[in-house]
Each structure stands twice: as structure tokens, then as C-alpha cells.
Structure 1
Amino acid sequence: MIDTLLQYNLLPDALIRFGIRRLLAERLREQAAVVEERGDNALLAYAAELSTRPVAEQTDAANEQHYELSAEFFELCLGRRRKYSSCLFTEGIETLDAAEEAMLDLYVERAELTDGQRILDLGCGWGSLTLFLAERFPRAKITAVSNSSSQRIYIEEQCRKAGLSNVDVITCDVNTLTFPRETFDRIVSVEMLEHVKNYRELLARIASWLRPDGRLFVHIFTHVRYAYHYVARDSSDWMARYFFTGGQMPAHGLLPLFQDHLHLCRDWVLSGEHYRRTAEAWLENMDRHREQILEIFSRVYGEKEKRKWWVYWRVFFMSCAELWGYRGGREWVVSHYLFERAPAGAAHPPGALKVEAQ
């Protein structure tokens, strides 16, 4: 029923947003019930279950849903840097372009990135960070990894246009990714680990790709307490069906449970308001370029399907805005983590984490 109404564009934005907020409230009630039933062990049980899974699941579906759509669409919707992840709207920042730059600058600071390093951009998207670093640090060597061939082609073309020769782009499924003869000073992963299941296995591999004094910096979206999978149980699980198949919503405290090979140095929490404003800006850009985007959708999805996917993408951006804006950005947030390689046999004291709000 909901799909039909959406396909024919019969619902006003205000009603769609109201429905999204109702579903979010329902999600919180469901997760609260899980925690009430399992108590303090709920997150530990979730983490243990993740370790029984492949590194990532249904990667082809995730690729088709987002990353094989024409780069032209994302050029029209995203900012100048083509950053397809949360930007940073600190005081005084009003434009999407400035917010992209602000978040990229923050990565440099928090990941301790400098010129001359060997840097792995794990899950590079449309190359926002890769190209930013290649320009800022001309003596750095940046390896960018994406599951999308169209993203690789796009980044390589941007490098040619800008005369950048310090970037290598790899197309690879994270399940089979390996670097047998190469190590890195820094590995940075921006909104890729939400598509991953088995954190223990992936972090073990990442540790082997780091030099002895290397560090891993992670930017992921999270919920402040709850972790859950995106599963299409019924028609209300619209996000899982069309945009986030095989994904999960981590809790902020989930990733620090996996410190067998990497130790957490520091973590930060950013208000969901940053992501809300990012998604609202994407939606505004989409509406501003309606006719051009409908032409793109006609080529990609077919003339009969272009209206449906116009509505679906608009609802996706609205869903992102409502989720991260829920309760003033205090439920679903953006998390940053800085890890270092763990010395052999070292143990990390549980609960010794410091969370800094921004």
C-alpha cells in the first residue's frame, strides 16, 4: 500500500515525514524492549552474533542501490567535493560546500594525517577524501578502495583533470580485499563499516595492513545505545528493501568491543544535526535539478520507472534527515574513532572509553 502511494507520488512531504517519525518511534520501542529483555548483555550478544557472519553481506545489492547510479546524479545532489556522507555544520557554516570542507579538515586533524604518509581510504565513495588529501598532501601516497567500478572511473578521471599522480584506485569487494605486500601509516574509513557485519575479522585484517605505528580512523553513523540490522520484514522496512540491503545501524559502543588487534585511542560523538542538515541540503539540490535528474533516471531505470525512483530518492533523503534530526540529533549520531595497533598480548580495560560531544 505504502509503495503504491509512493510510486504514484500521492503523498505530500509533510505526511511522508510524519510517517517516517512514527516508524522511528516504533524502532526505538522495539530496541528498548530488546534491551529490557536481555539487559546489559544485549549489545554483547549482538557483537557475538556479528562474529559468526561474513565480513560483509549482499554487497552486490548495496552496490546496485547506491554506487552504480550515474555519477551525474551525485554531482547534482552532493556538494562540490561529492561527499556522500555526513558533513560538518559548525557555527558559521551555512553551505553544503563549506560543510564538506569542514568535515574533511576534521578528518585530517583527528586521524593525524600529514604529508608523506601512505594512506588507505577504505570505502572511498566518489573520492571526496581521496582527492582532498591528494591535493593537500602532494607527497602522500593514497590508495582508494571502492566496490564500485563507476566510482573508480570517476575518481581516476578527476585525478587526470587535476594532474594528481599520487592516487591509486582499486575496485574490490571488502570480503576479498587484501594487501599482502603493502602497509599503511593511516587507514581511514568513512561510512563503510555500516555495510560490514564481521567487525572482528575485518579489524584483524586492517591491523595487518597497518605499519607498527599506524592508526585507523573511522567515521560511521550510529545510535547512541542500540545496534540493529536492516532487514526487510514487511512493507514498512522500506529503507532495508531499497537503499540499505545488508546494512546495519551500529551502536556507538559496538565497535570498541572488538579490540583484539586494535586498541581504541579516542572516540567522539557528533550530533545527528550535522547529518540532518547534510541530507536536507541533498534534498534541496535534488529538487533544484528536477528535470535533469528525471532525464538521468529515465536512462538508468527506464521511462516508466523514472517517477517512482524520483520519489524513492526524495524519500530516502527525507528519511535520512528525519532519522538524524530525531530528538534534536540526540538519538542517531555520527561517531568517530581512532585506533592504534595493539601490542602482542596486550589487553584493553573494558569501559575505559571517553566520549567527547561536538
Structure 2
Amino acid sequence: MIDPIVLAERGLVPDLLLRHGIRRELAGRLVQEGGGDLSSNEARRRQFRYELRHSEIAINTGDANTQHYEVPAALFELMLGPCLKYSSCWWDEHCESLADAEQAMLEMYAERAQLADGQKILDLGCGWGSFTLWAAARYPASHITAVSNSSGQRLFIEAQARQRGLNNIEVITCNVGELSLTQRFDRVVTVEMLEHVRNYRDLLANVSTWLEPNGLMFVHIFCHAYLHYPFDGGWMTDNFFSGGQMPAFDTLMHFSEHMRMVDSWRVNGEHYSKTLEAWLEKLDDNKTQALAILKGAPNPKVQYHRWRMFMLACSELFAYRGGQEWFVGHYLLTPGLEAS
């Protein structure tokens, strides 16, 4: 019997059946991770946090590059919005398009991170530069230092900055676990990078030395309401999230030795699901061009369908139970210890 995943990767399984199978997998994940009694579930999460404290800051960074960040920018230009924001957008009542939703979320970052012109800003895990380029244009007297583990992303952002006449951007190519900075920043912004990090304690210790004493760190991560688990096997891990994890909404609050929590917000998962559906629609509309971009892959059609499956799986995840199980967490932190 042929593996159903093999059939799906060939484009032979209708989306309706794929979505049904994904929802069954999600229900199984909830049972697997949270089906025990409260004490055993908490003991498992406590053990995982212990393992994170004794891990490297980041692992499998080469795999993450191969799976996401060294993929040609042209593919992302086909499926993302005009800002190339490769993370959840915000669909308020005024948003009529993906472009509107990108802008709405970037505006939310500015408000929640308390950004102002003239600040020194560190964009940690900058992706294709959606926040960096937006902030550089919005705050011309600010200087933005962007960090990516991908040389391709650095070159893309630098080219975009030149085209837009932005001279207040510096892009560094570095694994966040090896990043060493001597200057201090007023703000650190990190969007959907901490899911790829392991040792939050050591990373936040580093960030505390990069921030001014009254500086702020704004974090955007996807998370589960209460479950915390690694991506430790299976199709998604092998193809898209090697070395990653699914934090719980309160995970960062357990690593407060060097940074204390100022505020936190929950962003309903349906905003991310709608974002992913918009990406999927754009990818489908540009299938011919996408296959041409992927022609260097061992099997372009399989790669194309893997990207479709990835977006379908993530969309169903964030839409599950009305976006209340898996969603996006926003956090504001500042250097110092939590009050006892």
C-alpha cells in the first residue's frame, strides 16, 4: 500500500481529505501531549524546560536554513504579501487584503514595542526584512541592525534597502547562538524566531546585555495555550521544523532570570490561519512560476506540494477550535529580575 503522505506529495489527495486528516492529527497531538493527569503533564513540561536550560541556544540551524531561509526569495515573493512578512498578519475589520493585514500587524508591533524615531533597534531573526525595512522607512532617525542566519536574506534586504534609499540599516549574518554584540539597543524585536531556539535562558541573558537598562524586548511567537513540546519527528519536523519547538503561552515566563515580563497578549490563531490561506491562494495562482523557481530541487512538483501541505497543516492548526488552542503570543520584556 502506498503511503498517503507520498500520494499527497504528488498532489493526488484532495485538499478536503488533507484537511480532514490534519484535523485528526491535531486531535491526536492534544491527546498525546495533554491526555494524562495534571501532575504528569506538568512533570513532562518541567522536564522539557530543564532540557532546554542545558541545551545549546539553537540547534539544527543548517536544517532551518535549508528548509526555509535559503529557499530562493522569488518563491516567497510569489506567495507572501508585498512586505514579505513570513509570519502571522493581523486581520482587523479594516483589512481587505494580505497587504493590509501585513501593515496592520507591523503597526501593532510598533505600538506594543513602544517604538519611536531615533531609537537603536535590533531585529533578531529578521527573515526577509519585513519589519526592518518597514521600521527603517517609518523611523528615519533610527538605526536598525538586522540579524539573520541566512546570507541570502542579508543580500535581499541590502538590495531592497538600496532600492528604497534607506541608509539606516545594517544586516548581520550569524547564528543567534553565536551572536556577539558590543553596542546597546533601545529595542529588540524578534518575530517567529524563538520557536527555533532551545535555550531561552541563555539567549535572554545575552539580550539583557544588548539592551539599554530601560530598553524593551518585543517578542512574537506562535504557541499553544498550555502545551509545550518539541518537534521531534514526523513529516513536519523532517521538512520544515528540524530542531524547533512549540512553546506554551507561559513558556517565556519560566526563563525570567535576566529579563522580566512587562506585558503579554494573545493573538487568536484564526489571524494566522487566514494569513496562511492567503499565502496558499497566491501559491496556487502562481503554480507555473513556483515550479520554475523550484526546478533546481530534486523533484520540483514534490517540493511544490510539500509547501502546499505545510500551509494547509499550519492553517488547520491555527484555526483549530476557533484559534484558541494554537495561536500567537506577544510579549514585552525588559532587563532585570522578576519581582518576588
What's the TM-score, normalizing by structure 2? 0.97
Written as runs of structure 1 = structure 2, the 5 A alignment for 1:76-95 is 76-95=78-97
2:222 maps to 221
2:197 pairs with 1:196: yes
1:34·1:42 contact (CA, 8 Å) conserved in 2? no
The equivalent residue for 1:263 is 260
| Structure 1 residue 301 corresponds to structure 2 residue 301 | no
Q: Deviations over 1:188-225 (max 9, x none)?
A: 00000000000001000000111111111000000001
Q: CA deviation at 1:347?
A: 4.1
Structure 1 stretches lacking a partner, 5+ long: 350-358
Report the counterpart of residue 310 of structure 1 in structure 2: 304
1:96 alignment counterpart? 98
Q: 2:272 aligns with which of 269, 272, 275?
A: 275
Classify the secondary structure of the residue corresponding to 1:134. Answer: helix
Structure 2 counterpart SS, 1:93: coil
Of 245-254 and 92-101, the range deviating more from structure 2: 92-101
CA distance in 2, matches of 1:73, 1:175: 27
CA deviations 1:86-121 (Å, max 9, x no partner) are: 000012313100000000000000000110000000
**Structure 2 residue aligned with 1:356:** none
Instruction: Write the letter of the residue equivalent to 2:326.
Output: W
In the TM superposition, what are the counterparts of 1:147-186 in structure 2 within 5 Å? Answer: 147-179=149-181, 181-186=182-187
Alignment check: 8 A CA contact 1:259 1:348 kept: no
SS at match of 1:175: helix
Any runs of at least 4 consecutive aligned residues in structure 1 with deviations exceeding 4 A, and if so which? none
**1:291 corresponding residue in structure 2:** 288
In structure 2, distance between residues paired with 1:34 and 1:197 = 25
SS for the counterpart of 2:260 is strand
Q: How many Å apart are 1:9 and its aligned residue?
A: 1.7
Aligned with residue 324 of structure 2, among 330, 337, 347: 330
Following the alignment from structure 1 to structure 2, what is the Cα–Cα distance between the partners of residues 76 and 175? 31
- Return the alpha-carbon distance in structure 1 between the equivalents of residues 141 and 22 of structure 2: 46
* CA distance in structure 2 between the partners assigned to 1:35 and 1:104 by the alignment: 40
Q: What 5-or-longer segments of structure 2 have no aligned partner?
A: none
Tell me the CA shift for residue 39 of structure 1.
4.7
What do residues 236-294 of structure 1 show as CA deviations (whole Å, max 9, x unaligned)? Answer: x2111101111000000101111111110000001000000000000000001011001
Partner of 2:186: helix, strand, or coil? strand
Matched AA of 2:283: M
How much does 1:32 deviate? Answer: 1.2
**Aligned: 1:205 with 2:206:** yes
Q: Does the CA-based 8 Å contact 1:43-1:254 persist in structure 2?
A: no
Q: How does 1:124-135 map to 2 (within 5 A)?
A: 124-135=126-137
Number of the residue aligned with 2:107: 105
One-letter amino acid of the counterpart of residue 301, structure 1: A
1:4-19 matches, cutoff 5 A: 4-19=6-21
1:320 matched to which residue of 2? 314
Alpha-carbon deviation of 1:35? 5.4
| Structure 2 letter corresponding to 1:156 | E
Which residue identity lines up with residue 322 of structure 1 in the other structure? E
Aligned equivalents of 1:7, 1:281: Cα separation in 2? 21
Q: How many residues align?
A: 338
1:85 alignment partner, SS class: coil
8 Å CA contact 2:230, 2:245 repeated in 1: yes
Amino acid at match of 2:70: E
